[in-house]
Amino acid sequence: MNKTRLLIVDDETAIRRFLKASLPASDFELLEAGGGEEGMRIVAKDRPDVLLLDLGLPDIDGLEVTRRLREWSNVPIIVLSARGQETDKVAALDAGADDYLTKPFGIAELLARIRVALRHSQLNGDTPEPVFVSGPLRVDLTLRQVYVRGAEIKLTPIEYKLLALLVKHAGLVLTHKLLLNEVWGPAYDTETQYLRVYMTQLRHKIEAEPAKPQLLITEPGVGYRLRIEPEER
């Protein structure tokens, strides 16, 4: 039986050592990182089955790591944190974490949470590739970089969030309401003008002929779709 690949992202060496000593070696292949940036690189490179994530990291807060991973990865995230307030738990879950366990914790409970996360992951399907390519467009979701015909282009935070959502669901039609909810929030789900303005801006940065888009396709009365095309050579 294949081992579960488990990534531990925690700056406390003692916690990592404790987990390595306590988790059954016959069941788990353990990876570890002391910071958020390193952890995200390992997720992209080694594709762990489950991520155990501390919030208080030295470089990037665990909430930001969670938000950035959720732009391109479905890896189950279990937060292991000394922050025990309800507001901390809600913030982590809202950011995209699957579960939250307060330190100190028991190994039996952690193993049970890991089993639940793995079951949910199997139902949700595979994680998308961290680098997306369609025609002249290349999006590195790990580094948050966008290239058109080999040249890096700069996007505003909203433009990037909108594009990343379309990339994550490339080939599918995303409704106006879904895009507005995910990018701006539920209070804006009828503000279709916002969407039109930002799609126009994206097309001017990505499309060769913004008035005749080949990648960012309008589905009249419904929403938008990012077309998947063979990579340009």
Radius of gyration over every alpha carbon of the chain, rounded to an integer in angstroms: 20
Nearest to 65 by CA among 75, 80, 78, 55: 55
- pLDDT tens for 179-199 read 998 899 888 888 899 999 999
In angstroms, rounded to a whole number, what is the distance separating the alpha carbons of residues 20 and 18?
6
- Tell me where in the chain the CATH 1.10.10.10 domain(s) lie: 131-226
Model confidence at 233, pLDDT cuts 50, 70, 90, reads low
Q: How many residues does the chain have?
A: 233
Q: What is the pLDDT of residue 124?
A: 57
Domain 131-226 has CATH 3.90.480.20: no
- Tell me where in the chain the CATH 3.40.50.2300 domain(s) lie: 4-124
Top CATH class, 4-124: alpha beta
Instruction: Judge contact between 162 and 199, C-beta under 8 A.
Output: yes
Q: The pTM is what?
A: 0.65
